[in-house]
Structure 1
Amino acid sequence: MQQNQSWAILGLQKTSLLRAFLGQHRVVPALPSGIWPFLSNLEPPKAPDSGIAFVSFAYQQRRTIPTGGAFYDYSARYGAVREEDKVTLRESIPICHPRTGAALDTNLLETLAKSLAIDHLLDLPLVVLSNGQTRRAAIMRQLLLEPEVLILDEPLTGLDIKQRPSLLEFLHGLHRRKDPWILLGLRRQDPLPDWVTHVAYAQDNNVISGHRTSDSVRPFFRADRSSTKRVPDALAPERPTKHFSPPGAAVTGNPLIQIRGLNIQYENRKILSELDWTIREGERWHLTGPNGSGKTTLLSVLTGDHPQSYTQKNLVLFGKPRRQLALSQIHSRIGICSPEIFNAFPRRSGPEGLTVRDAIGTGFESIFSFRPRTPEQERRIDEVLQKFKGALSNDFDADVHFGSLSHGEQSFVLFLRAIINEPPLLILDEVFSGMPGEMITVTKEFLRTGLKHEQSVVFVSHWDEELPWPTEVRRLVLGDNNCDHR
């Protein structure tokens, strides 16, 4: 890689290759001048640990939660009553460089926050930030360290249609000025920015690399020359909340979820206002909207996790008012995949660790710890693993620890956990995050043809092309606390 080039890494082993660039994997044979020889030529010279910054949106155990790989209560964020939950984004940022001890530039903080469209979030508690906002904040944290190289693994995951081109344009500007030099790790389905000149594809312990126009790498990426252009306002997501039904769509089965006049707010900050929504048996819903529009909050109401769900007068879940249902009763009727569950799921090793079979089996009761299983449940796990064996490697072992799997394999196993009990309602929030193409293909096919007729799905994604169903999809678009029906 040369400094006048722009690189993106793709493939099942892209994260392993990126970590090799960080010195976390041994490179054989050893390079006499190291992986980043230019760092030693700087004045003053920099060591790789201070010159290279890395942000990965694959699983990372949260530094502020000393769980040692155990489950942590991700739903605590909705209450935001503990002292640690009151920490704002600004307060969470260290005042000194963690390695050099040098004071961080507060003016740079304001500049970066504005460029990443999170300046209005600096004085809000971290726990109320959306997934997309949290990801942009993670990039800002690393840029504050003023590295020479910034490596970003899957930076587009979870960003809405307006923020994707804005982020790529911002990164392009940084790379053009070499302030810092940017190296991207992308999913195969991500559009390749037009400013990326070179591609490396890492898979099967092999790396194929070359200029983006080279025949050797062109099959491995999706070109999209519009990916770095700003989205015109007319194409941006609509601001009010809107419901869309496919042409000719008729009322289907019995209602599973009935929401009328939903209001969620933290002190004076409204998250959802006067929202109405009914989910019926057999329906397919696409829930979308800008980062910070309240999607995760709305899902926490559906699952009963949000404390304010108890105070809603017109919230009926599975035929009963929310107040009359224990949380376990709600969770047993919902299969869910989400970034929160992915990050919170226990990954201990040793005797206390969950195997892949155990992890899938927790879906029968929607819990996060081992429970003895009945013979019927064991047969069901075998049936699901057999059905999806085409997406798994030939040497895949369901008795290994869940935490030993790759990011993509963990995402896929948690999807199997969500469907194992054939729940009435499936909630799939960024379900394909980290999955390789083969797993995505198999998962989409199952969602098209493998569900029971009466099962309903809420599919959350900023990417229309990720939808498994070409037609017959209802859509709920969240916006600025208004409700409008179409």
Structure 2
Amino acid sequence: MALVNIATRHFSLSRITSYSACVQRTYSSYHQADETRRTIINIPKSSIYQFGASNASTPVFCDFGWTVNEGEAWAVVGSSSGEKGAVFQMILGHFLIKPSPPAPGMFPFLSVSPTPVDPYTRLSLVSFSHRPRTAGGDFYDYTARYGAVRDEDRITLRQSMFPEMIPEFVGPFAKEEEEKWRKEHGVAAGDDLGTLSPEERKRFDDLIDQMGLRESLDLPRVALSNGQTRRARIIKAILKKPEILLLDEPLTGLDVSSRPRLLSLLSSLHVSRSPRVILGLRRQDALPDWITHVALVQGNRVTTGAKEKVLSEAEAEDLYALSKYSSKLKQESGKDRKQGSLLVDMQGVNVRYGPRTVLNGINWQIRQGERWHLQGSNGSGKTTLLSLLTGDHPQSYIQSHLHLPAISTNDHVAPTYKTQHRKRIATPHLQRAIGVVSPELFDAFPRRHPGMTVWDAVGTGFDGGFVPHGKEGVGVIDDHLNEQQRRETIEWRLNRTWEVLEALGPSAWSRNSGTDLCTSKREITARFSKRFFSSLSPGEQRMVLLMRALVGRPPVVLLDEVWSGMDAGMVNAARSYLRGENEDGKYAIGENQAVIVITHWEEEVPWGANEGVKKFRLDQGVGTIVE
């Protein structure tokens, strides 16, 4: 199976990325000990439909048969988050199965319970491939994590783990009410675990230590890094004691040291059946050694079976594509890139919350034409540093030397920029100068704006805001421009929008998979541009937000976990466009732009060290340039 198209995480059957050094436990003894071979999930060959679908409807999955036995460790693998997600939603009972599984149902192992039990109450899903907050589509203020000033934002990680144990006291008499409640219930001050049993407390403490979150327990929940938040969500799901825990893309956003720690914990939990774990992985993800079986999702077909058998069937195509991509990389390596004017100048930058120092004396200069890889473990301060660059952090105004790009000419098509102190730059101007793709932006971007289309969403990139502007949907045009300049500006923006839509839209990734061959690129792109943003899959939404970050050619582009949620075709299309290797030969990034890629996987950076990529590493708030 391999992911080929991520381009350098060379993942093939002959050399599957291994975590065996950290996961010493094997499943051989476990198989021998479990002689009963109980059936955990049983779905005979069936077709899977949306509820309410007519008999003539196309099924979500055709001829889908799946049996999971005790002692097997499964991963559901798909090219896109939608493919994996559909399998998990089916397990959770959100799809119609025809014919239905025979008695005792889809989960035979639960039928041995002495009392009737609803099987769906014994399942838990934690997904990192979709938008977890404000699922209704409203915008939420993701900058709250930098201040945590609202009452609901003061809740600590420890408190959030057991919200039913300690009530949330808010308002002017919150302190007095909490003291009264603690006295009535015999809960000591500072004890946020309430009335947990000793066994529950020990389990909580063990999980917190195993996940490396002990020092984060008393931080406001909104102040946690993305990786810390993800680990905390997994712990919270485990504490609910499900029989089966479904984890969709659990490694996304985790730093190098956290991955083996998490996988070791999941292996141990699965062996002890507390709970049984089923992973959801992308095709480009490394497959843990302790996984024994794979359900490979390809469109509406699912191939299930032993890991080696399933992977061998998909390997040849992947290796062929990898060889093609590798040869292209060699042809493009060794490019010289000019360094231009200064775009970002940080000197002695600090961020503190009371006694806690998040960033300490950061010195970093970024110039035109540079490509940077920002590195650092979860909680090292990367997100805080980026929030200073975007101006989202309130402490960006008080830095003694934080110079960011500001418009210096009134060129109506391609303005030039010079650095100014952050407090002298209006936030709307800064938003125009910094293109951003990040998990926070993905979560916050509004889905409920009336009728917001893909075209509208991409067009917001010209202003950096969240609301479409202008009759053509390509942003606000400056009032001081004369009529001819306005027409030239609009024409350039329209052409630029079509360019990024064609380079990163379905005409790029669907052609890679051999579909829509009889339809022109512009027709495919036009149809896609009219779709509602809220109707897109998570991967498609992330591609649109990448288009948004690139469309206005801002002087600085921040790509934070940019590949998260994308399928292999999308990743290939995006990398090709960023590197100027797409079939049109157009570059997403110009010579006057700087790019900062934030990822824990070095191979996810679109450019290699031989192409001049520089590295800036954060370690406990201290930044250094890695030579």
Instruction: Give TM-score scaled by structure 2 length.
Output: 0.69
SS at match of 1:454: coil
Instruction: Compute the displacement of 1:7 (Å).
Output: 0.6
Instruction: Compute the displacement of 1:76 (Å).
Output: 2.0
Query: 1:74 is aligned with what amino acid?
Result: Y
Aligned pair partner of 1:79 in 126, 137, 147:
147
User: What are structure 1's unaligned runs of at least 5 residues?
Assistant: 224-246
Whether the 8 Å CA contact 1:95–1:103 is kept in 2: the answer is no
1:305-324 → structure 2 map (5 Å cutoff): 305-318=392-405, 319-324=419-424
Whether the 8 Å CA contact 2:459–2:497 is kept in 1: the answer is yes
Q: Using a 3 Å threshold, how does the CA distance of structure 1 residues 330 and 135 change in structure 2: closer, same or farther? A: same
Most deviating of 46-55 and 286-295: 46-55
Tell me how far apart the structure 2 counterparts of residues 295 and 397 of structure 1 sit (CA, whole Å).
34
Instruction: Compute the displacement of 1:406 (Å).
Output: 1.0
- CA displacement 1:327-369 (0-9 Å, x = unmatched): 11111011110000001111127xx141111111111111112
Instruction: Compute the displacement of 1:60 (Å).
Output: 2.9
1:241 maps to what in 2? none
1:43-442 → structure 2 map (5 Å cutoff): 43-62=114-133, 68-94=136-162, 96=164, 105-214=200-309, 217=312, 219=314, 252-318=339-405, 319-348=419-448, 352-372=450-470, 373=473, 375-376=490-491, 377-388=493-504, 389-392=507-510, 394=516, 397-442=528-573
Q: Using a 3 Å threshold, how does the CA distance of structure 1 residues 248 and 154 change in structure 2: closer, same or farther? A: closer
Tell me how far apart the structure 2 counterparts of residues 254 and 57 of structure 1 sit (CA, whole Å).
38
Instruction: Compute the displacement of 1:93 (Å).
Output: 2.3
- CA displacement 1:46-97 (0-9 Å, x = unmatched): 32332111100022342xx5x8312121112212212111110111123559
Instruction: Compute the displacement of 1:103 (Å).
Output: 6.5
Tell me how far apart the structure 1 counterparts of residues 288 and 395 of structure 2 sit (CA, whole Å).
41
Q: Using a 3 Å threshold, how does the CA distance of structure 1 residues 195 and 442 change in structure 2: closer, same or farther? A: same
1:17 maps to what in 2? 87
2:69 maps to what in 1? 2
2:330 maps to what in 1? none
1:475 equivalenced with 2:615 (yes/no): yes
Q: Using a 3 Å threshold, how does the CA distance of structure 1 residues 222 and 193 change in structure 2: closer, same or farther? A: farther
Tell me how far apart the structure 2 counterparts of residues 379 and 261 of structure 1 sit (CA, whole Å).
41
Query: 1:51 is aligned with what amino acid?
Result: R
Q: Using a 3 Å threshold, how does the CA distance of structure 1 residues 218 and 138 change in structure 2: closer, same or farther? A: farther
- CA displacement 1:173-209 (0-9 Å, x = unmatched): 1111111111000011111000101111112211112
Q: Using a 3 Å threshold, how does the CA distance of structure 1 residues 197 and 61 change in structure 2: closer, same or farther? A: closer
Query: 2:99 is aligned with what amino acid?
Result: P
Whether the 8 Å CA contact 1:259–1:314 is kept in 2: the answer is yes
Q: Using a 3 Å threshold, how does the CA distance of structure 1 residues 113 and 249 change in structure 2: closer, same or farther? A: farther
Tell me how far apart the structure 2 counterparts of residues 206 and 307 of structure 1 sit (CA, whole Å).
49
Instruction: Compute the displacement of 1:222 (Å).
Output: 13
Whether the 8 Å CA contact 2:107–2:119 is kept in 1: the answer is yes
1:460 maps to what in 2? 598
- CA displacement 1:26-54 (0-9 Å, x = unmatched): 22222233322222323445323321111
Tell me how far apart the structure 2 counterparts of residues 410 and 160 of structure 1 sit (CA, whole Å).
24
Instruction: Compute the displacement of 1:428 (Å).
Output: 0.2
Tell me how far apart the structure 2 counterparts of residues 184 and 52 of structure 1 sit (CA, whole Å).
13
Most deviating of 310-319 and 210-219: 210-219
1:229 maps to what in 2? none
Quote the sequence identity (%): 43
Whether the 8 Å CA contact 1:40–1:47 is kept in 2: the answer is no
Whether the 8 Å CA contact 2:617–2:623 is kept in 1: the answer is no
Instruction: Compute the displacement of 1:424 (Å).
Output: 0.9
Tell me how far apart the structure 1 counterparts of residues 502 and 336 of structure 2 sit (CA, whole Å).
35
Q: Using a 3 Å threshold, how does the CA distance of structure 1 residues 483 and 399 change in structure 2: closer, same or farther? A: closer
Query: 1:184 is aligned with what amino acid?
Result: L
Tell me how far apart the structure 2 counterparts of residues 381 and 130 of structure 1 sit (CA, whole Å).
33
Query: 1:84 is aligned with what amino acid?
Result: E
Tell me how far apart the structure 2 counterparts of residues 29 and 269 of structure 1 sit (CA, whole Å).
58
Query: 2:205 is aligned with what amino acid?
Result: E
Tell me how far apart the structure 2 counterparts of residues 17 and 295 of structure 1 sit (CA, whole Å).
34
Q: Using a 3 Å threshold, how does the CA distance of structure 1 residues 222 and 429 change in structure 2: closer, same or farther? A: farther
Whether the 8 Å CA contact 2:503–2:577 is kept in 1: the answer is no
Whether the 8 Å CA contact 1:334–1:425 is kept in 2: the answer is yes
SS at match of 2:97: coil
Query: 1:322 is aligned with what amino acid?
Result: R
Query: 2:541 is aligned with what amino acid?
Result: Q
Whether the 8 Å CA contact 1:212–1:218 is kept in 2: the answer is no
Q: Using a 3 Å threshold, how does the CA distance of structure 1 residues 262 and 381 change in structure 2: closer, same or farther? A: same
Most deviating of 257-266 and 119-128: 119-128
Whether the 8 Å CA contact 2:304–2:310 is kept in 1: the answer is no
Q: Using a 3 Å threshold, how does the CA distance of structure 1 residues 259 and 114 change in structure 2: closer, same or farther? A: same
- For the aligned residue pairs, the C-alpha RMSD in angstroms reads 2.5
Instruction: Give TM-score scaled by structure 1 length.
Output: 0.88
Query: 1:333 is aligned with what amino acid?
Result: A
Whether the 8 Å CA contact 2:618–2:624 is kept in 1: the answer is no
2:37 maps to what in 1? none
Instruction: Compute the displacement of 1:315 (Å).
Output: 0.5
Tell me how far apart the structure 2 counterparts of residues 214 and 86 of structure 1 sit (CA, whole Å).
50
Whether the 8 Å CA contact 2:503–2:573 is kept in 1: the answer is no
1:244 maps to what in 2? none
1:238 maps to what in 2? none
Whether the 8 Å CA contact 2:390–2:431 is kept in 1: the answer is yes
User: What are structure 2's unaligned runs of at least 5 residues?
Assistant: 1-67, 166-194, 319-333, 406-418, 475-489, 517-523, 581-586
Instruction: Compute the displacement of 1:303 (Å).
Output: 0.5
